Amino acid sequence: MGIRLNPKTTQKIAKAVIWSAAILVLFLLFSIIIYILSKGIPHITWQFLTQIPSDMGRSGGILSTIVGTLSVTLVAIIVATPLGVGTAFYLTEYTRESTITKIIRFSAESLAGIPSIVYGLFGFIFFVIYLKLGWSILSGGLTLAVMILPTIIRTSEEAIRTVPPMYREVSFSLGGTKWQTMIKVLIPSALPGIATGIILGIGRCVAETAAVILTAGSALQMPTSLFSPARTMAVHFYILASEGISLEKAFATSALLIILILLINIGANLLVNKFVAKGH
């Protein structure tokens, strides 16, 4: 029962289906990006970039949200990078998996899977309430730091593992200590890979909404210190869009976000290519 198709025909059909799937995905990607950019870029004016929002965001610009985004991202990167790279160094110092390394790796993998809203809950109850940091750039940044930690650990570890082990041997045989070897040989060699992880982390911070809204708040005023509440561009976009405040500003904000993400992705890809070109 059933039509027995000639294998050559199945091959043709399969190839057509597969190519269509790929084209569909690319089409979706481009249509989303082009739609947002085309609707939004016209509204990105100099005022938009340099004024703070007024009238709930109906008019004015988004300067305070730009500052908000940059600040929480900066806090997150400053906290997560040393911890992530340090963890990666610890994990790569051992040639054999011990219980500790397994536990640490399990923790990092688990952290990577936790939904962002749960991070928001955690950030709220731990940083905002328990540590009494309040809704602030600090709370938001620290929560984001935990979110991007697994990414930085993973990419840093991979980067260090691609450094030829012989470099370590050579450095030791020249009288280098573990610490000196790390600073003078391993870090420089692994730097492109580590930087890629950091850039991916930045991308994550810029795009994140759920965790940030519960920890940094949604205040529109220009933040004045790490303890000020702040609104990020992603949160601002969400509020503008879902509450129908201003379609124009919503498109403009999302267009700006997309442009940022594009730049971040291009940066990461250039680094990866440099990494590969080094002959690893």
Q: Tell which positions 110-129 bind other proteins, by CB under 8 A.
A: 110-111, 113-122, 124-126
Site string for other proteins, 52-81 (x = CB under 8 A): ------------------------------
Q: Which of residues 135-174 bind other proteins (CB under 8 A)?
A: 146, 149-150, 153, 164, 166-167, 169-174
3-state secondary structure the chain: CCCCCCHHHHHHHHHHHHHHHHHHHHHHHHHHHHHHHHHHHHHCCHHHHHCCEEHHHCEECCHHHHHHHHHHHHHHHHHHHHHHHHHHHHHHCCCCCCHHHHHHHHHHHHHHHCCHHHHHHHHHHHHHHHCCCCCCHHHHHHHHHHHHHHHHHHHHHHHHHCCCHHHHHHHHHCCCCHHHHHHHHHHHHHHHHHHHHHHHHHHHHHHCCHHHHCCCCCCCCCCCCCCCCCCCHHHHHHHHHHCCCCHHHHHHHHHHHHHHHHHHHHHHHHHHHHHHHCCC
Q: Which of residues 85-114 bind other proteins (CB under 8 A)?
A: 86-87, 89-91, 93, 95-96, 100, 103-104, 106-111, 113-114
**Residues in binding contact with other proteins, number by CB under 8 A:** 103
Looking at the Cβ atoms of 21 and 224, the one nearer to other proteins is 21
The reply to whether 277 sits near other proteins by the rule CB under 8 A is: no
Neighbours of 219 (CB within 10 A): 15
- In the block, tokens 């470099």 appear at 167
Q: Which of residues 238-267 bind other proteins (CB under 8 A)?
A: 238, 241-242, 250, 254, 257-258, 261-262, 264-265
Q: Which of residues 212-231 bind other proteins (CB under 8 A)?
A: 213-214
Q: Which of residues 172-211 bind other proteins (CB under 8 A)?
A: 172-180, 182, 184-185, 188-189, 203, 206-210
Q: How far is the CB of 122 from other proteins (least distance, A)?
A: 5
Among the residue ranges 62-70, 132-140, 223-231, 234-242, the one whose residues contact other proteins (CB under 8 A): 234-242
Q: Which of 41, 63, 70, 83 binds other proteins (CB under 8 A)?
A: 83
Site string for other proteins, 7-46 (x = CB under 8 A): xx-xx--xx-xxxxxx-xxx-xx--xx-xx----------
